Structure 1
Amino acid sequence: MYLKGEEFAQLFARIWKHLCCFLEREKWRQIGFTNLGLLVRIGSKFANRYPAEFGADLGVYGCIPLLLEGLRKLKKYFNSETEMVLLRDIVTDLFGILHNSILKYSTNRGIYRKTRAVEDLTEYLKCGDTLINLQSLLILAYVVNESESSILATAEGGIAKLVELLKLAVNSEDHNHDYARFKTESATPRFSAFVLLDCLNHLGINDNNKREIEKQGGVPAIVRMLENDFSEEEHSVAARALWNLSFVESIRKSDLVRKTNKPLEKFLKSTNKNLQDASAYALWQIKGTSHGNITVRDDSPKDSSPAYEASIKQPKQHRPKTSQIMISYQWDSKPTATKLRDSLVNSGYRVWMDVTHMSGDILAAMAKAVEKSHIVLICMSEKYKNSQSCRTEAEYAYKLKKPVIPLLIEDSYQPDGWLGLLQGTKLYYNFSSDALMKTELPRLLTAIKECISSAKDETEGPAVTMTQHKGARSNGGATPSPASKSPASNWTGSDVHDWLKKNKLDDLCDLMVSYDGKHLEEMYKKYCEDRRNFEKDMKSDYQMNYRMYVEFAVALGKLFKDSS
């Protein structure tokens, strides 16, 4: 332990490369395999002591692919109980290192995604060892995307298992799970309530997973973690979990969650910035985005909460009526957002965006930015979609019926989940590279001008109207006027049936057996008029899950755009 994390990571990689040949079955009894096990055990202890620093260094010096390759080699031998017992210690230590490498340093996620980690670790979910199942699940929660997360949550009882362990940890004296059934001769990993809930928070990016956490009884355990006998770190992860889960209406409106207002309001006075932040946003979500009495200060550059301040730059040309534009972005996209801001300012617009993670009232600043803006530009990326802060502000803009123009800033990203639903059939502009930004900017400026010209009142902002702008990319088409006509309006019931089949919406065929084109046209009108109520009705009347609703809404929008 006299070595620094950076030095140990380099040494670890060098020794591993010399000893990894002993992972083959015929060499397990040799001294080299013993030494390899010792190296991994030391690495596991180092990772536990310095999780953030060592986790970062493991990524920098190429250790993560080496460890995953080791797990891949060992997995093929997990065919008998004897071999599993022989290899168990080294495998659990490898998992311990990998878990720490991503728990405190999420940037390593990209490395995992590029090295078949999802496929390899999913295989370990199927092995017969309970501890290894749990370890692989804890790592996968940080690596999977939203669609994979939905599968992972139900595979092998993923969420049910985590909630069960969380309940045990929360009710234990030291807030750690009782590992008696997992004990071996070597040191056994301890999974705390904090670690288990943090894992559930990552799986909870998917709204269906949020509902599964509720179904499995996870909410009472989370609320329990707000009580006085828990630490500020535990309070923070619990507040963040409530914020996350409260995007689902049934959870947000439950009596148990509504009773958390008092402890959350108390945490607003804490000196812990993370706890302040999480509590403020949780209250915002639970109270239905009523930010009147919520104040919280945050000046930490490490926090990715997208608060806003008025544009620091003023337009070069002073105009009597310049319009306010808000740029909503995830912190990693700051370079692109800044270039966009400068271009808009130079074109005579007033722009609101966060540039410094300023101190002050985050929620009031964000709310003011949305309320005062005439247009909201959303910088779409996977990290934006996965950010609770970004979702909070984007949905607030939607609630206030602000015109939203989506910008794609991550090459090849396809908006999914809540972001895909929010975008719906709106046009987007591709700003994923400097070259594309140069090409797309004039078209975006034209779109902004058209939105502003259709505004009823520049002070309060225009009503939501999205017109088709030449050159913009489409995610299923622009949202035309609800009164637009389409050949699909004249469809027969047979045509509707074939359309549902073509779009893989077979489950709706029986429910819409008597529907013709006029019915679809009426549904589309309701979709255009009020998407939130439309979504609620579809889920209630047609028993649509989240994924089915998104697919249906996109197909409906595409039908009436492409057919017109």
Structure 2
Amino acid sequence: SSNYKKSTNCKAEAEYAFNRKSKIIPLVVEPKYKADGWLGFLAGSKIYVDFADKEGEEFDKAYDSLLEELRRNGLDDTNEGKDNTTAVETTTESESKPEEPIKEPEQPCIQTREYLSVPVASMWHENHVQEFLIDNQLNQLIPICESMDGEALIEFHHACETKPDIRYGLLYNPKGEHSLSFGTFFKFIAKLKKYLPKKPIPKLYFRYNFIYPSSNSTVVGTTDKETNQSK
């Protein structure tokens, strides 16, 4: 639909699924809508299932088409028809299975803190990165940052701050592989900032004009002076 195309969250979700080479089945929910732009690229020549303005028997046919597409794409676990699906939808909340919490990776028993002797993260080795994560209780990031040195960790930190698709992939991983909690994500952003290389101090230039009095004419002298501005 046009609203789906306009949504940045939907775009990030669709691009993530495409990059993961997941099965994509386009559903049309807006009458006479034709996907274009990024949505048209992702949908490509795939078979669309049209649910727009469908009621009664037409909706049932569209639903059957969706089930057939799921089976054709190797997703056979469709509860064998609408009757079973309806039964699942009408179960009470008490009967539904609660979501399992994200499990923290086990923390190594022996851990040093040599990274503290290297104040700038760009100079960290791989073991320094692991020490930093464990010392700050960022264990969920350990498998994600495996084999990263300090420079790679800084690039990862920058991507987490500036790229929505990276954030979405970390926080909403549909398969639960290395998913992060919001607390761990924002704690990592905050904790690493103190170890980032300092930005160069901006320079300001001032121009002074000197007027020298003279009996016949006025001479104007100019000099430039450079100074550093410290915050």
Q: TM-score, normalised by structure 2?
A: 0.33
Name which one, 1 or 2, has greater alpha-carbon Rg: 2
> Highest relative contact order (Cα 8 Å, sep 6+), 1 or 2?
2
Give TM-score, length-normalised by structure 1: 0.17
Higher strand share: 2
